[in-house]
Amino acid sequence: QVQLVESGGGLVQAGDSLTLSCAASGRTFSSYTMGWFRQAPGKEREFVATIVPSGGITYYANSVKGRFTISRDNTKNTVYLRMNSLKREDTAVYYCAGKTGYSSTLYPGHFGSWGQGTQVTVSS
């Protein structure tokens, strides 16, 4: 398993942009499908975006499609989430997650490695 550490969260205003980073330890990062999930108070953890090991294919939740971009740099063992045009409903704790191999799964339970989360708060 890889160890994951998120950073980049904070308090922003609606319409602002923010980039989250997730640094992974271990030599096998480039073989992991990586994902971003989020959990708002009182709600279940939900899928935001995933990216396959090569970075060539990405998946997005409908709620963030066109506003968020997931990317990765396998030379730096890091995955990113660029968030544009933030809305109040994007407020949540954002988690980075990893799953060995190529996968198109959107289900949090399928990911075996998780970071501690980073808070994103969007004010109006």
- Give the pLDDT confidence of 7-19 residue by residue, as tens digits: 999 999 999 999 9
Cβ–Cβ < 8 Å for 95, 112? no
Concatenated DSSP letters of 60-95: E-TTTTTTEEEEEETTTTEEEEEE-S--GGG-EEEE
Average pLDDT over every residue of 14-26: 96
Q: How much is the pLDDT for 68?
A: 98
Which residues face 11 on adjacent strands?
A: 121
Reply yes or no on whether the pLDDT at 26 is more than 90.
no
Reply yes or no on whether the pLDDT at 107 is more than 90.
yes
Distances (CA, A) of 98 to 24, 49, 71: 9, 12, 14
- Amino acid at the residue 11: L
With cut-offs at 50, 70 and 90, classify the pLDDT of residue 27: confident
Summary mean pLDDT of the chain: 96
Question: How many percent of the chain have pLDDT more than 70?
Answer: 100
Q: How much is the pLDDT for 1?
A: 82
d(CA 24, CA 57): 20
Average pLDDT over every residue of 64-78: 97
Q: How much is the pLDDT for 49?
A: 98
d(CA 39, CA 91): 9
Q: How much is the pLDDT for 121?
A: 98
**What is the number of other CB atoms lying within 10 angstroms of the CB of residue 27?**
9
Q: How much is the pLDDT for 3?
A: 95
**What is the number of other CB atoms lying within 10 angstroms of the CB of residue 109?**
7
